[in-house]
Amino acid sequence: MNYVTQRLLTFPLILLGVSVLVFFSIRLIPGDAITAMLGTEAGLLTPAQRASLANYFGIDQPVWTQYARWLGGLFHGDLGISVTYGKPVLGVILERFPLTLELALLSVIIALAVGIPAGVYAATHNERASDLGVRLFAMLGQSTPSFVFGLLIIYVMSVYFGVIPALGTFTPIWVDPLANLSQLIFPAITLGFAFAASVTRISRSAMLDVLSDDYVRTARSKGVKARRVIWHHALPNALIPVVTLSGVEFGYLLGGAVIVEQIYALPGIGRLVLDAITQRDYALVEGAVLFIAFNFLIVNLLVDLCYVALDPRIRLGGR
Cβ-based nearer residue to other proteins, 122 or 239? 239
Q: What do you get for the CA distance between the two ends of the chain, in Å? A: 14
Alpha-carbon distance of 58 to 73, in angstroms, equals: 14
Q: Please, how many CA atoms are within 13 Å of residue 168, restricted to the half-sphere of its CB?
A: 0
Cβ-based nearer residue to other proteins, 112 or 290? 112
Min dist. Cβ of residue 11 to other proteins (A) = 26
Min dist. Cβ of residue 168 to other proteins (A) = 3
Reading phi first (left if > 0) and then psi (alpha if -120 to 50, else beta), residue 146 is in: alpha
Cβ-based nearer residue to other proteins, 10 or 52? 52
Cβ-based nearer residue to other proteins, 244 or 262? 262
Min dist. Cβ of residue 207 to other proteins (A) = 12
Strand, coil or helix: 87: strand
Alpha-carbon distance of 215 to 213, in angstroms, equals: 6
Of residues 130, 123, 133, 127, the one with CA closest to residue 238: 123
Min dist. Cβ of residue 178 to other proteins (A) = 5
Min dist. Cβ of residue 183 to other proteins (A) = 8
Min dist. Cβ of residue 185 to other proteins (A) = 4
Q: Angle, nearest 10°, between helix axes 235-254 and 177-211?
A: 140
Min dist. Cβ of residue 284 to other proteins (A) = 10
CA 212 to chain centre: 34
Cβ-based nearer residue to other proteins, 105 or 298? 105
Which residues neighbour 225 within 8 Å (Cβ) at sequence distance 6 or greater?
none
Strand, coil or helix: 82: strand
Reading phi first (left if > 0) and then psi (alpha if -120 to 50, else beta), residue 78 is in: beta
Cβ-based nearer residue to other proteins, 14 or 226? 226
Cβ-based nearer residue to other proteins, 196 or 296? 196
